Amino acid sequence: MNNKVIMWSMLFLILLGLYILGEGIIFVEGIRVKFAAILLVSITIYYYIDRARSGEEIYLRTIPGLKALEEAVGRATEMGKSVLFVPGISDLDQVETITGLNILGHVAEHTAKYEASLNVPVSKSIVMEAGRDICKESYLKSGRPDLYSDDMVHYISDEQFAYAAGVNGIMEREKPAACFYLGKFYAESLILAETGNSIGAIQIAGTGSMAQIPFFVTACDYTLIGEEFFTASAYLSKKPELLGSIKGQDIVKLMVMATMILTVVLNGLFQAGWISFDILSYL
């Protein structure tokens, strides 16, 4: 076991010990397990970020949807058509929207590089402002600030179906060659994706909204399913510290799986009357 593992484990134990000592005085009673879980998850992710920073190679499997981003922008450029980016209908308080905006930055870099026109209709004003900042930065990074215009990120409506109708109108009129749906979506997901499909656009979607994933899988060429969507920012930036957090996330998943199996076994033994320890009451 290396020194860093020992150091982080000590830190975990010390913080947990402090929490237990301060329960009822400084800290809330009865949520010790939650605190330990948050601490463990945070320390695990940070440990792997630290390892990646130290130069450890992190392997990330190929995600076809993210690999196809540049290809889609290139296709739009060849066809002389625009690129449409839809960041969902939620505000910036949703992690999906933030992830969608992160990917917008990468898409904007490609549109700047290929001189393709980018259209980002939004349904929330704060998202519009954040989207503009991100696009501006990307165009600057690509050395083409002259191609950037504030109006490429524009507001349509806060109303769900008014927004869907507005985006559909843009699709039907401009016939973009590439459509990206990356953010938080609700019932409008299929309306947008099917319209995009009908105009023959290459479509890449990604969302954390469970109910909308099947619709995107059906109607889009590539779909970032579940956690794939959240790894996009790290995958595209290739920054070691971000890649490290993905490995940390996978280790946490492994821990969750182990905890689930352990819980099932212990609860089975308890229900059979072989042990008196009830894991469910403790959790």
Number of residues that bind another protein (CB under 8 A): 83
How far apart are alpha carbons 182 and 177 in whole angstroms? 16
155 makes contact with another protein (CB under 8 A): yes
Q: Which stretch binds another protein (CB under 8 A): 30-38, 56-64, 80-88, 265-273?
A: 30-38
Q: Which stretch binds another protein (CB under 8 A): 3-11, 82-90, 110-118, 147-155?
A: 147-155
Q: Please, which residue, 24 or 80, has the CB nearer to another protein? A: 24
Whether residue 205 contacts residue 213, with contact meaning beta carbons closer than 8 Å, is answered with no
CB of 242 to another protein, least distance (A): 7
Q: Which stretch binds another protein (CB under 8 A): 1-9, 22-30, 62-70, 73-81?
A: 22-30
114 class by beta-carbon count within 10 Å (0-12 exposed, 13-18 middle, 19+ buried): middle
CB of 274 to another protein, least distance (A): 26
CB of 44 to another protein, least distance (A): 10
159 makes contact with another protein (CB under 8 A): yes
Restricting to residues 50-89, name those near another protein by CB under 8 A.
none
Q: Which stretch binds another protein (CB under 8 A): 17-25, 74-82, 112-120, 271-279?
A: 17-25
Q: Please, which residue, 77 or 163, has the CB nearer to another protein? A: 163
1 makes contact with another protein (CB under 8 A): no
Print the binding letters for residues 215-234 with another protein: x by CB under 8 A, - otherwise.
x-xxx-----xxx-xxx-x-
Q: Please, which residue, 252 or 274, has the CB nearer to another protein? A: 252
How far apart are alpha carbons 256 and 251 in whole angstroms? 9
212 makes contact with another protein (CB under 8 A): no
Q: Please, which residue, 147 or 225, has the CB nearer to another protein? A: 225
253 makes contact with another protein (CB under 8 A): yes
What is the full DSSP assignment across the chain?
--HHHHHHHHHHHHHHHHHHHHBTTTB-TT-HHHHHHHHHHHHHHHHHHHHHHTT--------HHHHHHHHHHHHHHHHT--EEEEEESS-TTSHHHHHHHHHHHHHHHHHHHHT--EEEEES-HHHHHHHHHHHHHHHHHTT-GGG--GGGEEE--SSHHHHHHHHHHHHHHH--SEEEEEEE--THHHHHHHHHHHTT-EEEEEES-GGGHHHHHHH-SEEEETHHHHHHHHHHH--HHHHHHHHHHHHHHHHHHHHHHHHHHHHHHHHTTS----HHHH-
Q: Please, which residue, 104 or 116, has the CB nearer to another protein? A: 104
For residue 114, the one-letter residue type is Y
Restricting to residues 172-211, name those near another protein by CB under 8 A.
173, 187-188, 190-191, 193-194, 208, 210
Q: What radius of gyration do the chain's Cα atoms show?
A: 23
- Tell me which of 99, 119, 203, 212 binds another protein, using CB under 8 A: 99
- Tell me which of 9, 54, 125, 259 binds another protein, using CB under 8 A: 125
- Tell me which of 8, 12, 16, 27 binds another protein, using CB under 8 A: 27
